[in-house]
Amino acid sequence: MNGLSLTLSRGVARVTEAALGPYQSAVIRIGFAGTWLLFLLREFPHRQELYGPSGPWGWNLAKELTADNHAFTALLWSDGRLWFEFCYTLAVLAATALMLGWRTRTASLLFMVGVLSLQNRSVFVGDGGDNVLHLMSIYLVFTRCGQVWSLDARRAARVAATRARGERVPADRVGPVLWAVLGLALGTATLTGRFDNGWLIPALLWTAWAVLGLWWAVGRRAAWHEPRALLDVIANVLHNGALVVIMAEACLIYATAGWYKVQGSRWQDGTAVYYPLHLDYFSPWPGLADLMSSSGTIMMIVAYGTVMVQVAFPFTLFNRRVKNVLLVLMMTEHAVIAVVLGLPFFSLAMIAADAVFLPTSFLRRLGDLAARARGRLTRSTGGTVPAPRSPEDSTADHVGFTA
């Protein structure tokens, strides 16, 4: 019984004392935000046709659909072009801020609003990658994804260095301004009835806004150590739970895709691979598609290999080496899909989802390479940039339960 209690205590301590997977959460933040940003920039010339009030899927049709499914979209708050341009620009800025890790808590909320608003406005113009982005934009709100590889981490390192020198830390003015603007926007939307279509997303936004204000207020009072420790524990639990959900979501996607393929005959006889290669929509490189489809061996390897990898992946999580091999295979498969079938954003979204399983040692080596490249670039330009603080080197007080 004592052994069980000790194991349980250690498990609780591990979940509460730190936000696990800082590099994994950072890479999925960069991956999903970067994918969405590239999509918005690629479709910028066609934004009116895809999501605008005068597009084929008109404003009235979208309004009628969201009245039935209660989906959240800020684009239907007004049918004016100026409002649409504002929302689209805000989505671009939010994706950029989240990718760079600037004010990640606020940026993740705005990123979620941008993704949901555009996708729910025109539900018939997306693909499977949009579904992944849709879900992950919500999950990212609950993660502490700015611990490393972010402007927030760089700012935290500067603050820590200033305190270590015994100097006074300048007051943060940007955070309170963002919080006040966000509160004003939420209050206006609530009072004008913009949130009457559904309660889930508005409740999430209001809760996050209140927590951000509480976090800032507690952080300003040095004597409020225990409330800050409690908030850290809650944030760590939410972060770790969100990471588990993201991993489970990725496993569910591959498991369901693989088992549905097994049940049908299209993947057994190769039709599911051969037929899309001869559709104009999925053939940006007809010569390459013809080369692949002309070989029965290639068709068999692709069809059976895809099914086996997707079915097997959830079971390989218990073996690190096998899992890493399958990760390479799946990411390679998505890269091939991006080139051969012309689905770059679907592939980028799936690669970003796969990245949550990448080993920490590999991600740290990748970060070190990027830091050295940045250092060489900085030296060549004559500037200096402080390196972000690693979570392992954090000087923050211990929080959470200990075994």
Specify the pLDDT at position 379: 78
pLDDT of residue 312: 94
Residue 401 has phi, psi (to 5 degrees) of -85, 145
Q: Distance between CA 126 and CA 114 in Å, rounded?
A: 15
pLDDT value at position 371?
85
Helices then strands, each counted (H, E), the chain: 17, 0
Q: What's the rounded Cα separation, in Å, for the pair 371 and 274?
A: 43
> Average pLDDT in the 87-113 region?
98
Residue keyed to tokens 């046709």? 49
Q: How confident is the model at residue 345 (pLDDT cuts 50, 70, 90)?
A: very high
Instruction: Report the alpha-carbon distance of residue 113 to residue 74 in Å, rounded.
Output: 8
Closest CA to 88 of 40, 122, 30, 129: 40
pLDDT score recorded for residue 391: 52
- 220 pLDDT higher than 90: no
| Residue-level pLDDT at 390 | 53
144: nearest Cα among 317, 394, 402: 394
Half-sphere exposure of 163 (CA within 13 A, CB side): 9
Which of 86-90, 225-229, 299-303, 381-385: highest mean pLDDT?
A: 86-90
C-alpha distances out from residue 152 to 38, 97, 387, Å: 22, 10, 12
Evaluate if residue 149 carries a pLDDT over 50: yes
The helix (H) or strand (E) run that includes residue 369 is helix 360-381
What is the reported pLDDT for 208?
97
Contact 100, 388 (CB under 8 A): no
For residue 138, the number of C-alpha atoms closer than 13 Å in the C-beta half-sphere is: 15
User: How does the average pLDDT of the chain come out, rounded?
Assistant: 90
More confident: 10 or 274: 274
Q: How far apart are CA 100 and CA 364, in angstroms?
A: 18
Cβ–Cβ under 8 Å, residues 16 and 9: no
> Residue 158 carries which DSSP code?
H
* Spatial separation of the C-alpha atoms in residues 79 and 87, rounded to whole Å: 12
Q: 190 pLDDT exceeds 70? A: yes
The DSSP code sequence of 75-92 is GGG---HHHHHHHHHHHH
User: In which band, very low, low, confident or very high, does the pLDDT at 394 lie, cut at 50, 70 and 90?
Assistant: very low
Q: Which residue has the tokens 């404003």?
A: 59
pLDDT for 177 equals: 95
Distance CA 117, CA 172 (A): 30
pLDDT at position 401 over 50: no
Range scoring the smallest mean pLDDT among 105-109, 156-160, 237-241, 397-401: 397-401
Residue 99 pLDDT grade (very low, low, confident, very high; cuts 50, 70, 90):
very high
What ranges do the domains of the chain cover? 8-159+195-253, 264-342
Q: Give me the pLDDT at residue 398, please.
A: 38
pLDDT of 400 > 60? The answer is no
244 falls in which pLDDT band (50, 70, 90)? very high
User: Could you tell me the pLDDT band of residue 117, with boundaries at 50, 70 and 90?
Assistant: very high
**In Å, how far are 177, 295, 335, 342, 399 from 300, measured between CA atoms?**
58, 9, 19, 21, 54
Cα–Cα distance for residue pair 150/194, rounded to 1 Å:
33
* Span 279-298, pLDDT tens digits: 888 888 889 888 988 888 99
Which 3 state secondary structure label does DSSP give 167? coil
Question: Taking 50 as the threshold, does the pLDDT of residue 78 lie above it?
Answer: yes
First and final CA of the chain: distance in angstroms? 15
* pLDDT over threshold 50, residue 351: yes
pLDDT value for 125: 86
User: What distance in Å separates the CA atoms of residue 371 and residue 367, rounded to the nearest whole number?
Assistant: 6
Q: Do 342 and 282 contact (CB within 8 A), yes or no? A: yes
Percent pLDDT > 90 in the chain is: 67
On the question of pLDDT at 403 being above 60, the answer is: no
Q: Is the pTM of this model over 0.75?
A: yes
CB 122 within 8 A of CB 55: yes
Q: What is the predicted pLDDT for the residue at 340?
A: 92
> What pLDDT digit, counting tens, does each position of 248-275 carry?
999 999 999 999 999 888 898 888 999 9
Distances (CA, A) of 78 to 124, 256, 289, 294: 21, 39, 44, 52
Residues, the chain: 403
Average pLDDT estimate for 119-130? 88
Residue 402 has a pLDDT of: 32
Of the candidate ranges 171-180, 224-233, 295-304, 378-387, the one whose mean pLDDT is the lowest: 378-387
3-state helix, strand, coil in the chain (%, to 5): 75, 0, 25
Distance CA 321, CA 68 (A): 47
For residue 393, pLDDT beyond 60:
no
Calculate mean pLDDT across residues 226-250. Answer: 94
Q: Is the pLDDT of residue 358 over 70?
A: yes
